[in-house]
């Protein structure tokens, strides 16, 4: 009996290592495959997908775990992006390194999250949604109008010529040469974003399976019972807002460095809704589902954009409908279908059944 269970355990471990190595290899060569098969525009989409995964995971903490419907999440993305833009562009003549700006962005966005959380602690559901929606718009309007009397954000023109991300003396804007292999800029960004996305996934998983994560879910399930269990719901909710926002701040900083340009346009309500859709559609509160949601909702609209034209050409011999308009139509249809047929999301969490007796530590620690 003992040897059998030990053997199966060892086999499990081996399988896990094999799977990790396999996934790692796929992720490592993925940009080269995409780049050579589909071209640079898809590589950019891939980079954006990673940014949206970070955003979706951040919002998942607030909406998925703690059950607080936040419709203004993009504001934290904006805070991170503008901080990077202000500290690394000719606008103020500052050119701070990325390893200072990104953590600062996370902290500043976290503070913004707490500022949003504090006045909304008593609100839930639709009321909270309305207040957070207002908050998101306020941040965007601030960015739009903080160009007078003192020009801070350069108003609607936005901030351009932002420094590309550079680590040490290496800039990601030009192709890199590593061990004789040339890594183009988009690939380099992919690896950086992937590393940070993996970090955020790791933090999310660790938080979910912890005392704090359980408290978040308890608040989502029944706030009064959570209070009666001794959970300080005020602090734990503020913590959810802060953690979620800080992920958004990181993604925002990376976005600014990647894009080289930020303007208030990029942070409108539609973007907040898009990220909320990723969380809801993927499977609220379930990390793999949310990642899937992030990828799907970044890739699908682009797929429709790229395919709507050629398909019409092949079917009818000419383009009847503008692909740009058709893309959102098809996208909307896809959303409706998913919600009708998979109301819990594409990949909802299953009831976690522990295969082995509940006596064994599930972490194997």
Partner 1 sequence: MKPTLLIANAISKQFGGVKALTDVSLTIRKGEIYGLIGPNGAGKTTFFNVLTGLYHPNGGELLFEGYKLRASAPHLAAQSGIARTFQNIRLFSNMTALENVMVGRHVRTQAGVVGAVLRDPQTRREEADIHRRAEELLHYVGVADRANDLAKHLSYGDQRRLEIARALATEPKLLALDEPAAGMNASETAELRVLIEGIRNDGITVLLIEHDVKLVMGLCDRVAVLDYGVKICEDVPAVVQKNPKVIEAYLGGSVA
**Under 8 Å CB-to-CB from 198, ≥6 apart: which residues?**
none
Q: Which stretch binds partner 1 (CB under 8 A): 16-24, 128-136, 248-256, 356-364?
A: 356-364
Indicate the residue among 12 and 221 with the shorter CB distance to partner 1: 221
Indicate the residue among 144 and 349 with the shorter CB distance to partner 1: 349
Phi, psi of 167 (to 5 degrees): -110, 120
- The SS3 assignment for 121 reads coil
- The SS3 assignment for 183 reads strand
CB 292 within 8 A of CB 280: no
Q: Which stretch binds partner 1 (CB under 8 A): 38-46, 81-89, 269-277, 347-355?
A: 347-355
Ramachandran class of 179: left when φ > 0, alpha when ψ lies in -120 to 50, beta otherwise: left
Q: Smallest distance from the beta carbon of 275 to partner 1, in angstroms?
A: 22
| Among positions 104, 214, 288, 309, the unique one binding partner 1 when judged by CB under 8 A | 214
CA–CA separation, 347 and 283 (whole Å)? 5
CB 185 within 8 A of CB 177: no
Q: Smallest distance from the beta carbon of 115 to partner 1, in angstroms?
A: 19
Q: Report if residue 206 touches partner 1, rule: CB under 8 A.
A: yes
Alpha helix stretches (DSSP H) within the chain? 2-38, 40-59, 74-87, 98-117, 125-145, 185-208, 211-221, 223-228, 233-259, 269-283, 287-316, 323-341
CB 113 within 8 A of CB 244: yes
Q: Report if residue 122 touches partner 1, rule: CB under 8 A.
A: no
Indicate the residue among 124 and 214 with the shorter CB distance to partner 1: 214
Q: Smallest distance from the beta carbon of 216 to partner 1, in angstroms?
A: 10
Indicate the residue among 46 and 287 with the shorter CB distance to partner 1: 287
Alpha helix stretches (DSSP H) within 266-319? 269-283, 287-316
- The SS3 assignment for 339 reads helix
CA distances from 286 to 98, 241, 346, 349 (A): 31, 18, 10, 5
Residues that bind partner 1 (rule: CB under 8 A) add up to a total of 35
CA–CA separation, 193 and 294 (whole Å)? 14
| Among positions 217, 300, 319, 346, the unique one binding partner 1 when judged by CB under 8 A | 217
Interaction with partner 1 in 143-202: which residues (CB under 8 A)? 202
| Among positions 1, 122, 351, 364, the unique one binding partner 1 when judged by CB under 8 A | 351
Q: Smallest distance from the beta carbon of 17 to partner 1, in angstroms?
A: 19
Q: Smallest distance from the beta carbon of 251 to partner 1, in angstroms?
A: 18
Q: Report if residue 353 touches partner 1, rule: CB under 8 A.
A: yes
Q: Smallest distance from the beta carbon of 217 to partner 1, in angstroms?
A: 6
What would the x/- binding string for partner 1 be over residues 224 to 253, using CB under 8 A? xxxxxxxxxx-----x---x----------
Q: Under the rule (CB under 8 A), what is the footprint of partner 1? A: 202-203, 206-207, 210-215, 217-218, 221-222, 224-233, 239, 243, 351-354, 358-359, 361, 363, 365
């Amino acid at each position: 009996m003992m040897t059998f269970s030990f053997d199966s355990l060892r086999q499990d471990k081996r399988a896990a290592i094999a799977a990790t190595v396999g996934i790692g290899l796929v992720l490592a060569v993925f940009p080269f495959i995409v780049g050579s098969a589909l071209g640079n525009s898809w590589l950019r989409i891939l980079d954006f997908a990673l940014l949206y995964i970070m955003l979706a995971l951040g919002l998942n903490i607030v909406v998925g775990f703690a059950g607080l419907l936040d419709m203004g999440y993009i504001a934290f993305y904006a805070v991170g992006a503008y901080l990077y833009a202000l500290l690394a562009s000719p606008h103020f003549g500052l050119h701070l390194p990325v390893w200072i700006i990104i953590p600062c962005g996370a902290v500043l966005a976290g503070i913004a999250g707490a500022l949003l959380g504090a006045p909304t602690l008593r609100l839930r559901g639709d009321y909270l949604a309305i207040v957070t929606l207002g908050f998101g718009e306020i941040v965007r309007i601030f960015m739009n109008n903080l160009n007078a009397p003192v020009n801070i954000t350069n108003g609607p023109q936005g901030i351009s010529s932002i420094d590309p991300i550079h680590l040490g003396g290496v800039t990601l804007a030009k192709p890199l040469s590593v061990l004789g292999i040339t890594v183009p800029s988009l690939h380099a960004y992919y690896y950086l974003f992937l590393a940070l996305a993996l970090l955020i996934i790791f933090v999310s998983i660790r938080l979910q399976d912890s005392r704090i994560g359980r408290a978040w879910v308890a608040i989502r399930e029944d706030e009064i019972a959570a209070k009666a269990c001794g959970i300080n719901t005020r602090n734990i909710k503020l913590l959810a807002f802060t953690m979620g926002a800080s992920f958004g701040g990181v993604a925002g900083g990376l976005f600014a460095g990647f894009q080289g340009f930020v303007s208030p346009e990029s942070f409108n309500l539609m973007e907040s809704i898009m990220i909320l859709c990723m969380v809801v559609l993927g499977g609220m509160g379930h990390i793999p589902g949310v990642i899937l949601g992030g990828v799907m909702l970044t890739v699908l609209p682009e797929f429709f954009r790229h395919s709507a034209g050629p398909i019409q050409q092949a079917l009818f011999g000419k383009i009847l409908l503008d692909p740009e308009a058709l893309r959102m139509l098809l996208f909307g249809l896809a959303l409706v279908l998913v919600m009708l047929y998979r109301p819990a999301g594409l990949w909802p969490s299953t009831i976690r059944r522990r295969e082995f007796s509940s006596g064994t530590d599930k972490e194997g620690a």
